[in-house]
């Protein structure tokens, strides 16, 4: 493990996450992954992660968080768009306690991150490693693995990030956005400006036509005050003689006229005449015009239908011819009668039945043989000793019968040795020397050889003793 830690580059930057499990002390590799570290530090300064949950847990693999929605699909980076991956040759997924960016594909990093709970070599060059958990806070991170998980790898009782603090900021040019606070201050400043704002007073003495301007403005103010909140036209607001403020027709007269128009009496005879005209006009004038167009169209349609019907009839005739040809081929030859054909069919059926019966008989015979052999086998409770003894006794009886009825050598030569039991009565014949017996290892002869192992201590002693004897000799 020491070899792994030595290969990792030095860190620059420190963040403290206060969680429901305890504090997590994080050190950042800001030089190796500057974009990811800048994003993480600025989001911590803005309080983006405060109150977020760890929404995903794969035991022995990772713990994921950093999504303000808590669904695993939300979160944005400080850049306003997903930023690119940053891989370094000295940063590898070889141990627990590493922090990397979570993404949905290549160059798709936002605000979500995850802690490793073990070695994850399959994530190499897929996720950006930008920090590690240091000190005893590593054991607090491991407590996240103890929570219960459902089928979708979501904790039933998820842990939260209470607050994030930046202890050592490697990027001094970072300015937290805090959009909500800026909006509130802007609105408050606008309200105060409206309240404190006083109307500008015009000094007409500076103008050459100041007196006229003052009179005009006084008239406008008077009109505005009088007709404030009421919709008025130029007839009311101006003193133009061409435009009168009195209406030409009163509203009451208009209402009365409208009611009178509605109540005008109409003769029933006129209504009937109008209806009769409307009925006659379409029958006399419009019907023949409408009939001419469809008749022309119908002629073309009828032609097309006839052509289609002729084609279908031709196709049907061809199908009938083909059916007749196929039926004629299937029919029996011209020379055979119906009775002969029936007999031939019956004979074929009988042959098939006989073949089936023969196969069934053979199968039944084999089953009967198998059952007989099965009966001869010993049962499970009986031992195999009796069976072997019976076999040996049978073999001895066969040997004795073979010796008693042993044929001579001449008969064997005549028969050619085709009898299977000839080997039972076979006798070995040796030459003049006779049979050679095996040598006994304990009896030594002149031709026997001895093999001495030089590593054996007994043999070493014998050699030394033999050398001493040779030296003593004169």
Non-local CB neighbours of 87 within 8 Å, separated by 6+ positions: 125, 128
Q: Which of 12, 16, 87, 123 is catalytic?
A: 123
Angle at 365 between CA 363 and CA 366, to 5 degrees: 65
The answer to whether 127 is a known catalytic residue is: yes
For 116, what's the count of Cα atoms within 13 Å in the CB-facing half-sphere?
23
In residues, how long is the chain?
A: 474
> From CA 92, how far away is CA 120, in angstroms rounded?
9
Sequence-ordered list of residues with C-beta below 8 angstroms from that of 164, at least 6 positions apart, any chain: 15, 16, 17, 18, 43, 44, 47, 49, 50
103 is catalytic: yes
Please tell me which residue in 114, 130, 140, 159 is annotated as part of the active site: 114
User: Active site residue: 38, 55, 56, 96, which one?
Assistant: 56
Alpha-helical runs (H) found in 331-378:
338-376
Residue 114 annotated in active site: yes
Active-site position among 39, 42, 64, 112: 64
3-state helix, strand, coil in the chain (%, to 5): 50, 10, 40
**Residue 123 bears catalytic tag:** yes
Residue 51 — left, alpha, or beta (φ > 0 → left; ψ -120 to 50 → alpha)?
left
**Known active-site residue 56:** yes
Catalytic residue among 24, 28, 40, 61: 61
- CA 412 to chain CA centroid, nearest Å: 82
Residue from 38, 96, 127, 159 carrying the catalytic annotation: 127
Q: Cα(first)–Cα(last) distance of the chain, in Å?
A: 75
87 and 128 Cβ atoms separated by less than 8 Å: yes
Longest dimension (CA), the chain: 181
Q: Which residues are catalytic?
A: 56, 61, 64, 103, 114, 123, 127
């Amino acid at each position: 493990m020491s070899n792994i830690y030595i290969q990792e580059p030095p860190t620059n930057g420190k963040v403290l996450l206060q969680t429901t499990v305890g504090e997590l002390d994080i050190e950042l590799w800001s030089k190796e992954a500057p974009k990811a570290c800048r994003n993480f530090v600025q989001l911590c300064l803005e309080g983006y992660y405060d109150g977020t949950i760890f929404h995903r847990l794969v035991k022995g693999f990772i713990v994921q968080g950093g999504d303000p929605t808590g669904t695993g699909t939300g979160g944005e980076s400080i850049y306003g768009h997903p930023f690119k991956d940053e891989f370094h040759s000295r940063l590898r997924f070889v141990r627990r306690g590493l922090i990397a960016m979570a993404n949905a594909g290549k160059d798709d990093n936002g605000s979500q991150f995850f802690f490793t709970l073990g070695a994850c070599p399959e994530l190499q060059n897929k996720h950006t490693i930008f920090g590690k958990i240091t000190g005893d806070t590593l054991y607090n991170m491991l407590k996240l693995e103890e929570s219960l998980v459902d089928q979708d790898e979501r904790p039933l009782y998820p842990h939260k990030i209470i607050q994030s603090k930046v202890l050592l900021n490697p990027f001094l040019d970072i300015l937290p956005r805090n959009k909500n606070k800026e909006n509130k201050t802007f609105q408050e400043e606008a309200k105060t400006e409206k309240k404190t704002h006083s109307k500008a007073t015009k000094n007409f003495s500076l103008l050459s036509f100041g007196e006229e301007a003052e009179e005009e403005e006084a008239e406008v103010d008077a009109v505005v005050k009088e007709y404030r909140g009421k919709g008025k036209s130029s007839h009311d607001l101006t003193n133009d003689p061409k435009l009168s403020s009195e209406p030409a027709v009163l509203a009451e007269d208009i209402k009365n006229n409208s009611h009178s128009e509605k109540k005008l009496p109409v003769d029933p005879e006129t209504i009937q005449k109008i209806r009769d005209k409307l009925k006659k006009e379409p029958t006399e004038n419009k019907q023949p015009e409408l009939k001419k167009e469809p008749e022309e169209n119908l002629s073309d349609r009828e032609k097309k239908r006839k052509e289609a019907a002729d084609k279908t009839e031709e196709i049907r005739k061809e199908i009938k011819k083909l059916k007749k040809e196929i039926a004629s081929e299937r029919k029996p030859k011209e020379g055979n009668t119906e009775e002969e054909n029936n007999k031939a069919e019956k004979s074929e059926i009988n042959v098939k039945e006989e073949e089936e019966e023969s196969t069934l008989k053979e199968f039944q015979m084999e089953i009967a043989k198998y059952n007989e052999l099965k009966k001869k086998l010993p049962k499970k409770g009986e031992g195999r000793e009796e069976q072997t003894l019976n076999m040996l006794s049978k073999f001895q009886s066969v040997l004795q019968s073979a010796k008693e009825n042993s044929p001579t050598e001449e008969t064997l030569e005549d028969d050619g040795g085709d009898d299977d039991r000839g080997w039972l009565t076979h006798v070995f014949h040796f030459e003049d020397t006779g049979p050679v017996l095996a040598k006994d290892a304990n009896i030594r002869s002149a031709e026997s050889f001895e093999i001495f192992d030089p590593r054996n201590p007994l043999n070493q002693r014998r050699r030394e003793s033999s050398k001493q004897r040779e030296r003593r000799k004169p």
